[in-house]
Structure 1
Amino acid sequence: MNTALHRSTLALAGTALALSLTACQSGTGTETSGAAKPEATVASAPVAATSAVDKTAGTAGSGDSASGSTGASGSKGSGAAGATGGKATASTPACAAADVRITAALQDGPPYTHIVLTAKNTTRHSCRLAGFPRVQFLESHKQDVPAVAKSKPATPVVLAAGAPAYALVKLSDGGVDEDNEPVTAFQVMLEGDATVITVTAPGTDGIAVDPAKALTGYWTYELRNGADDF
């Protein structure tokens, strides 16, 4: 009886061992299945990397656009700077009579001894305003009013579209004993252009001019103390 029981115990132990081995083999299969998961993770990594590259490319594109805007801003900045004048080049044409509008205004006074001529570029392109205005006040004095050399600017005057230039013109010394003559309109010519521009004299009754005292300054971007003191 004890011998039979002992054999039964051994048989059961053998069965348990077999089951245990089977279970271990099954566990090995589970580990293999689990090992497939990292492979899936590795496969998805290039997709994420591609997305990152695309995003970076998009950022680079935005940077390029920003750079273009800066360039546009720079261009704008050049038009603004150009409005106050610029550097003359061989391709900059001379201002013709048809390119500018010339007006006159009283300066200082009374007595009014000077007027200021303004030449405004009315075109859509830059032009070079050379020299000084050729002014003739009276029909009885056909010669041009003499220019004052010290008023000549250091560089040529270049007018951007819509920009002005100025020239100071002396009418007289303001004395009552001068041989003044009334002028309601006078003539101006630009250097290199024989076209006569008629300018209306400022003031209700025009201006009083002494031909012997009249002088003109050169065209300049702004009236300068000292250089235009004549």
Structure 2
Amino acid sequence: MNIPRHHFTLLATAGTALALSLTACQSDAPTKSAPAATSSATGTATDDGQTSASGTTGSSDPARSTASKSSTDHSDSGGSAGSTGEQATATTRGCTARDVTVTAATQGGAPHTHLVLTARNTSGHSCRLAGAPHIQFLESHKQDVPVVAKSKPAAPVVLTAGAPAYALVKLSDGGVDEDNEPVSAFSVMLEGDSKVIAVTAPGSGGIAVDPAKALTGYWTPELRNGADDF
């Protein structure tokens, strides 16, 4: 049977079109399945072993899942840091008279109504300096100088090796009619320690103290405006 040449041309053209159509269909299949595979992988990596339901949620919105995880990690880190700080403070032993050197200096000009006590850690290790100094200026007045409550720091004072702490001490009101007595040396005791520290008063003539007006602040890492004004 003789088939005209133009029929062969039409059949070849139709065959080519069919092949191109099949090729296009095959190339579309992997392209459509690729996002599903990517989504699943993203969910697994983001959720760190969570349930498949959580994985589906995370893969549908990777940005939200990543932000949520970042927020969780940040809060956990902050909590851990806070706990570590509390444990370090709780386990640091209290400062004793053997750990610190206490010195005194006048604050401000005449009539020198205030002293600044400095307790410097000379022990070579950290210690916690609690409370306020227990001060007695005169043998005739055995009671400790009263403590000003508003000067109490918010957190315990932990002194690293070589670090200082300060306490402001009021000696008198500076009036000429006060019952001031001269003091060349006085005693200081630390919270929780029974050993007496002898402190030399500043100045060649010592200091003038009115026992009825004397006050002391708590130990603090620095002298703070307002809280230590008394």
- TM-score w.r.t. the length of structure 2 is 0.62
2:143 counterpart letter in structure 1 = Q
Mapping of residues 38-77 of structure 1, within 5 Å: none
* Structure 1 residue 91, shift from structure 2 partner: 1.6
* Structure 1 residue 109, shift from structure 2 partner: 1.8
1:213 counterpart letter in structure 2 = K
* Structure 1 residue 196, shift from structure 2 partner: 0.4
2-structure distance, mates of 1:112, 1:229: 14
Mapping of residues 84-103 of structure 1, within 5 Å: 88-103=88-103
Aligned residues with identical type, % of pairs: 79
- Structure 2 residue aligned with 1:136: 136
Moved over 6 A (4+): none
2:210 counterpart letter in structure 1 = D
2-structure distance, mates of 1:129, 1:91: 13
Contact 2:89 2:158 in 1 (8 A): no
- Structure 1 residue aligned with 2:45: none
- TM-score w.r.t. the length of structure 1 is 0.62
Structure 2: state its 5+ residue gaps. Answer: 1-84
1-structure distance, mates of 2:220, 2:176: 31
Number of matched pairs? 145
Deviations 1:25-61 (A, max 9, x none): xxxxxxxxxxxxxxxxxxxxxxxxxxxxxxxxxxxxx
- Structure 2 residue aligned with 1:209: 209
* Structure 1 residue 124, shift from structure 2 partner: 1.2
Structure 1: state its 5+ residue gaps. Answer: 1-85
* Structure 1 residue 95, shift from structure 2 partner: 0.1
Mapping of residues 78-157 of structure 1, within 5 Å: 88-157=88-157
Partner SS state of residue 144, structure 1: coil
Q: Does 1:196 align with 2:203?
A: no
Partner SS state of residue 89, structure 1: helix
Q: Superposition RMSD on alpha carbons, in Å? A: 1.0
- Structure 1 residue aligned with 2:30: none
1-structure distance, mates of 2:146, 2:125: 30
- Structure 1 residue aligned with 2:224: 224
- Structure 1 residue aligned with 2:161: 161
Partner SS state of residue 117, structure 1: strand
Contact 2:93 2:128 in 1 (8 A): yes
- Point out which structure has higher relative CO (alpha carbons under 8 A, 6+ apart): 1
Partner SS state of residue 98, structure 2: helix
